A and B are shown apart, each in its own frame.
Chain A
Amino acid sequence: MSQQLPAILFLLPLFAAISMPVVCLKHRHWSQPISLTILAAMVLVSILNLQNVIHHGEVRYVFSGWTVPLGIEWVADGLASVIIMLLSVLALLGVVFTGPTSPKALGGRIVHFYTLILLLISSMIGIVFAGDLFNIFVFLEVAAISSYALIGVAGGRALFAAFRYLVLGTLGASLYLLGVSYLYAVTGTLNMADIAERLPLLLDSKALVGGLLFIFIGLGIKMALVPFHAWMPESYTYAPDSVSPILASLVTKVVLLAWVRIIYWVFNASIVINDIPILPLVQVIGVLAAVIGAFLALAQRSIKMLFAYGGISHIGIILIGIGQGNQTGFAGGVFYLLNDAVMQAALFFLAGVAFCQYGVRTIDDIGRVGKQSPWLAGSLIVMALGMIGLPPTGGFFGKWYIILGALEAGNYFSVGGVLLSTLLTLAYFVKLFEGIFRQTSTQLDVQPGETPLSFKLTLGITTVAIMLLGLFSAPIVQLLLNHALPPGL
């Protein structure tokens, strides 16, 4: 039974997504409770799966008994299981949040809205578990197509943002596929473990370097890496408030994880450090992304836009950690990825609540929030501590391990990049707080109603989680060091 857990995790949301339009044909209000039940079950199964992987080692799931390398394989190792647990919890919170914020104009099509969300979640599970390069491509595209549609749901400017995302995202996917076909032409196989076995004999091939670069650029577009980030802030800003937390916290991080898989599991640590040195490039681009993202965030007035640029800079910080090529940096990078996903979800929950309750979209209006709801301002302070990276939040310990890793590798440039990006993050949050505590004259026309329970729940849980990740950082990083490290690092 425990061998089947990865497949169960994937099939739960997939079957729910497919059967949703039929089951909810007459009863459209069932769609949210059904999604919630499925996702709650997923959280349980993902915890079981993590426990199983920690106690009994990784699970290699082979579909319908076709053995590797002929068949398609899924790998549930420590890294994948931790990320899947995070993904299920954040997806559950995201769907809890959709209740009061879901676009009113949808009417009966709300059923398809939930279908798309579940499809997005199941395809992200596919990306994380996939042990096969082509499988990642397929799931990347399923995730991308559902996100285009989910962003477009908002109408108006979102349509245009979604179109730009579609054009750029497809270019990224095509480049990824091109890279994969290079690797396939060189090695003759698509299974990750199989390629890893054959690579050491083929290191002279230039197609290998080309393939790796094309894959990097393709996934770079998908993970909104500077300088390919142009699609991201717009689409997450104009996306409906109810889906931007799920999109912003999960999609880019899952793609980043796929990239980590490819450099450390397909190519292994010794190849990317010695034979095809791509890690220095990853570090430099990481530093650029961390600094430029935070710098662009400074210039924003819209709070969702500000948070989206913050996300871009954090992708850079995670890459800096991953790119150090040592255990501390890797564990720090993955730990920061967990933190960043939680923080992005929390920030976009906050942006959604601020708009639904107080009609706040920009920094100029955010003074209302400070006046009317001290709780909201309080949770924003916790998120700010996390984003800047002050103890006792998870953000601090993530950056701490990344910097330790960089010092261990002697990369002072990376250390400088993390510190500079921290300073810039501090600057844009100071700007935000200046807006909150300023005495504004903008009065709210309508008195906000009672805050729905789902708002309190999602914001409360994510805010507490930011603190908890900091308080329990030592055991989590130890868990990552014990179970989630790539072979040979």
Chain B
Amino acid sequence: MADALLAILQRPNFLTFVILFLWGFYIMVTRYNLVKKLIGMYLVQTSVIFFLVSIGAKKGATVPVLLSTTEPVQVASYANPLPHVLTLTAIVVGVATLGVGLALCAAIYRKYGSLDEEEILERLE
């Protein structure tokens, strides 16, 4: 048990990811306010992005631009750019989704005069 705990504590990035993900998921499930649901959704997205960045991190490495063209490439001294590029794309996708979500929220508010899920469901009946 203590070993497992220690092993978890050695990977604070994974711990942070799990907390962020579950927190966002909890907000999505329990809140009735549509904007709060969107906030939870954004937390979930961000947690995955955080995970992706954290597995791409490398200690003592620099930007992936070759320092010298004559010496053989030292892989350990360059960070892998791919996770960061993926992250950028994922952020763009997340922003677009959030934009559409907020637009829908605005349209729902104009139509039903409320952002509370239960109130809207009552009016739908």
User: Which chain B residues lie closer than 8 Å to A190 at the CB level?
Assistant: 82, 86
- Out of A145, A160, A173, A185, which one reaches B100, CB within 8 Å? A145
Knowing A159-B107, A163-B104, A181-B51 are in contact, say whether A141-B97 is a contact too (CB < 8 A). yes
User: Which chain A residues lie closer than 8 Å to B90 at the CB level?
Assistant: 137, 177
User: Which chain B residues lie closer than 8 Å to A170 at the CB level?
Assistant: 41, 44-45, 97, 101
B11 within 8 Å of A (CB atoms)? no
Q: Is the interface of A mostly helix, strand, loop or mixed?
A: helix
Knowing A141-B93, A170-B97 are in contact, say whether A152-B104 is a contact too (CB < 8 A). yes
Give B108's nearest chain A residue, CB to CB.
A159
Let me know if B111 and A159 touch, CB within 8 A: yes
Question: Considering the chains assembled together, what is the distance between the CA atoms of A281 and B87 in angstroms?
Answer: 31
B55 within 8 Å of A (CB atoms)? yes
Number of interface residues of B (CB under 8 A): 31
Question: Considering the chains assembled together, what is the distance between the CA atoms of A174 and B50 in angstroms?
Answer: 12
Q: For chain B, residues 41 to 75, give those with C-beta under 8 angstroms from any C-beta of chain A.
A: 41, 44-45, 47-48, 51-52, 55
User: Which chain B residues lie closer than 8 Å to A163 at the CB level?
Assistant: 34, 101, 104-105, 108
> How near does chain A come to B31, taking the closest CB pair, in angstroms?
11
Q: List 30 A-B contacts (CB under 8 A).
A: A141-B97, A144-B97, A145-B97, A145-B100, A148-B100, A148-B101, A152-B103, A152-B107, A155-B107, A159-B104, A159-B108, A163-B104, A163-B108, A166-B97, A166-B101, A166-B104, A167-B38, A167-B41, A170-B45, A171-B28, A171-B44, A173-B93, A173-B97, A174-B44, A177-B48, A177-B52, A177-B90, A181-B52, A181-B83, A181-B86
- Out of A138, A156, A181, A184, which one reaches B89, CB within 8 Å? A138
Question: Considering the chains assembled together, what is the distance between the CA atoms of A368 and B75 in angstroms?
Answer: 73
Let me know if B104 and A184 touch, CB within 8 A: no
Let me know if B52 and A157 touch, CB within 8 A: no
B96 within 8 Å of A (CB atoms)? yes
B120 within 8 Å of A (CB atoms)? yes
A134 within 8 Å of B (CB atoms)? yes
Let me know if A148 and B93 touch, CB within 8 A: no
A8 within 8 Å of B (CB atoms)? no
A178 within 8 Å of B (CB atoms)? yes
A interface, CB within 8 angstroms of B? 134, 137-138, 141, 144-145, 148-149, 152, 155-157, 159-160, 162-163, 166-167, 170-171, 173-174, 177-178, 181, 184-185, 190
Let me know if A155 and B41 touch, CB within 8 A: no
Let me know if B89 and A134 touch, CB within 8 A: yes
B interface, CB within 8 angstroms of A? 25, 28, 34, 37-38, 41, 44-45, 47-48, 51-52, 55, 82-83, 86, 89-90, 93, 96-97, 100-101, 103-105, 107-108, 111, 120, 124
- Scoring A152, A156, A157, A170 by chain B CB atoms within 10 A of each residue's CB, the highest score goes to A170
- Out of B41, B83, B96, B100, which one reaches A184, CB within 8 Å? B83
Give A157's nearest chain B residue, CB to CB.
B124
Question: Considering the chains assembled together, what is the distance between the CA atoms of A181 and B101 in angstroms?
Answer: 25
Question: Considering the chains assembled together, what is the distance between the CA atoms of A160 and B45 in angstroms?
Answer: 21
Knowing A157-B124, A170-B41, A184-B83 are in contact, say whether A178-B97 is a contact too (CB < 8 A). no
Q: Please give 11 more A-B residue pairs, beta carbons under 8 A apart, in addition to A141-B97, A184-B83.
A: A134-B89, A138-B93, A156-B111, A163-B108, A166-B97, A167-B38, A170-B101, A181-B55, A181-B86, A184-B55, A185-B55
User: Which chain B residues lie closer than 8 Å to A173 at the CB level?
Assistant: 93, 97
> How near does chain B come to A215, taking the closest CB pair, in angstroms?
13
Let me know if B89 and A166 touch, CB within 8 A: no
Question: Considering the chains assembled together, what is the distance between the CA atoms of A174 and B22 in angstroms?
Answer: 13
User: Which chain B residues lie closer than 8 Å to A144 at the CB level?
Assistant: 97
Question: Considering the chains assembled together, what is the distance between the CA atoms of A137 and B44 in angstroms?
Answer: 16
Let me know if A160 and B51 touch, CB within 8 A: no
Let me know if B93 and A167 touch, CB within 8 A: no
Knowing A181-B51, A185-B55 are in contact, say whether A134-B86 is a contact too (CB < 8 A). yes
Question: Considering the chains assembled together, what is the distance between the CA atoms of A144 and B104 in angstroms?
Answer: 14
> How near does chain A come to B102, taking the closest CB pair, in angstroms?
10
User: Which chain B residues lie closer than 8 Å to A145 at the CB level?
Assistant: 96-97, 100
User: Which chain A residues lie closer than 8 Å to B48 at the CB level?
Assistant: 174, 177-178, 181
Question: Considering the chains assembled together, what is the distance between the CA atoms of A190 and B103 in angstroms?
Answer: 33
Give B99's nearest chain A residue, CB to CB.
A145
> How near does chain B come to A163, taking the closest CB pair, in angstroms?
5
Let me know if A160 and B108 touch, CB within 8 A: yes
The 8 closest A-B pairs by CB, nearest first: A141-B93, A163-B104, A181-B52, A185-B55, A174-B48, A159-B108, A178-B48, A159-B107
Question: Considering the chains assembled together, what is the distance between the CA atoms of A156 and B104 in angstroms?
Answer: 11
- Out of A137, A148, A157, A171, which one reaches B104, CB within 8 Å? A148
- Out of B52, B55, B120, which one reaches A160, CB within 8 Å? B120
> How near does chain B come to A461, taking the closest CB pair, in angstroms?
33
